[in-house]
Structure 1
């Protein structure tokens, strides 16, 4: 489990992709969190109108070996919940005062990063850094807001002399994926994990032997299931653009983690590239 693991966040994020029976258990837990640590598996099954076996399957879906370890995590999450309640996601309403908009946007972005720390797997981050360090080239794939994250990644990794490029439309993505091979990294960015263009490109990249890394929300999705390395983010479920803003901030944060991990591990080699790129841009600004 992650250092900042919060099982309540994981249940909230996973709920929409659960089976109907699992969703019954999830809804009961989220609505009765204070009671759950005191319930036996039989009591939780009865109160959620499911069965002992269903509750156990629910625990295993969330990565726990049994009910006891799941309940320990629930108790730990409740310990920090009082502090978190004052920082819940808040949607932007028409006619909101600008000062309220400023505060809510900042709070939502901060919470997206904090919640992402609860669901991201540190071992997967370490694997991603290793693969990126050893790669011949890195190709970033994303559409819409995710494409902006890909452009940011391309700019960062280019600065340390990594051969990389980003593609943000379906035709160029398929062309690029067709030319990938063993030793290359196909890096996918998709909040939903179900974007048709991305999934089609993933199939082509994998068929050609590239290692696949994906950033997507903590949920069951085809992208999450089929990627070699999975980097999960947590995002708010809000009704207007503030939700998309939060997911973008979480994705950019993961890119920063990977870039810093690669640059730190290879600092003796990459510092000359960082210095060169800094100096050329600084010189341009002085003109």
Structure 2
């Protein structure tokens, strides 16, 4: 039985305060995957003990078990939505297969088109400004899922060459997400990478980071995406072709440019440090 069904089942037996908590849970199901016990207590204006008693009334031993059940519910809902809407269907229509060589050439041109679009819109000054963020914050967290996580790994590798340590978070793995949450504060730069289907946990992590006063840099395909509205800084690059919901070509090129900008800034800082150190000798 899903948790919302469980809440509906026992709702008539709940106390007035427990019903208030239950109403919040039903109205903020996605928030329940991330919210802390203290935050929920504050939101509903009810003591933490009462919230814990509500968890037990639902049949769970702890608040974390309730959050776990909400994550199960949300994931199940998303899977059903994508299946019903054939979201990931990239099957090639039969009429395209009559000229396979031409089709492959067209796909190649689409990939090239994404790179050319990136080059046309590239703002080197802004990229260098964004690169400075990696030196202003002592803690850097890269998060994403699927192809977005592959980009996280790429950026982390490049940053390590510039002696910049990072923490990578696969937002599809609960343990990965929850291990990073204590790190999020005003000294943290969170790089949230999100392309269609805009995985909701990546967005929720960005929202949580903002609440904790962290700086949020988002890499996505559009300034109109939900996660872009959350971020302090946004870098965009197109990612969709006829054969792929997300292709790595242009997004990875953007990642390379960002990493290159960080390396350039790092070299400048090192040289400045050497010059200042030399000047102190005289």
Q: Normalising by structure 2, report the TM-score.
A: 0.55
Which residue among 179, 182, 193 is the counterpart of 2:183? 179
Q: Separation in 2 of the partners of 1:127 and 1:103?
A: 37
Give the C-alpha shift of residue 260 in structure 1: 0.7
Mapping of residues 1-287 of structure 1, within 5 Å:
95=97, 99-100=101-102, 102-119=104-121, 124-168=126-170, 169-171=172-174, 172-192=176-196, 194-236=198-240, 238=242, 240-241=243-244, 243-245=245-247, 248-267=248-267
Q: Separation in 2 of the partners of 1:237 and 1:151?
A: 23
Unpaired stretches in structure 2, ≥5 consecutive residues: 1-90, 272-282
Max Rg structure: 2
Q: Separation in 2 of the partners of 1:92 and 1:117?
A: 29
Aligned length: 177
Query: What RMSD in Å do the two structures reach over aligned CA positions?
Result: 2.8
Contact kept? 1:142, 1:190, Cα under 8 Å: yes
Give the C-alpha shift of residue 233 in structure 1: 1.1
Give the C-alpha shift of residue 228 in structure 1: 0.5
Return closer, same or farther for 1:236/1:205 CA change in 2, 3 Å cut-off: same
Unpaired stretches in structure 1, ≥5 consecutive residues: 1-90, 272-287
Contact kept? 2:223, 2:234, Cα under 8 Å: no
Contact kept? 1:186, 1:211, Cα under 8 Å: yes
Give the C-alpha shift of residue 182 in structure 1: 2.1
Q: Separation in 1 of the partners of 2:197 and 2:212?
A: 21
Give the C-alpha shift of residue 220 in structure 1: 1.2
Q: Separation in 1 of the partners of 2:228 and 2:180?
A: 21
Give the C-alpha shift of residue 195 in structure 1: 2.2
Q: Separation in 1 of the partners of 2:161 and 2:98?
A: 40
Contact kept? 2:223, 2:229, Cα under 8 Å: no
Return closer, same or farther for 1:154/1:96 CA change in 2, 3 Å cut-off: farther
Q: Separation in 2 of the partners of 1:259 and 1:270?
A: 16
Higher relative contact order (CA 8 A, sep 6+): 1
Return closer, same or farther for 1:98/1:127 CA change in 2, 3 Å cut-off: same
Return closer, same or farther for 1:133/1:99 CA change in 2, 3 Å cut-off: farther
| SS, match of residue 156 in structure 1 | helix
Return closer, same or farther for 1:120/1:173 CA change in 2, 3 Å cut-off: farther
Give the C-alpha shift of residue 142 in structure 1: 0.6
| SS, match of residue 192 in structure 1 | coil
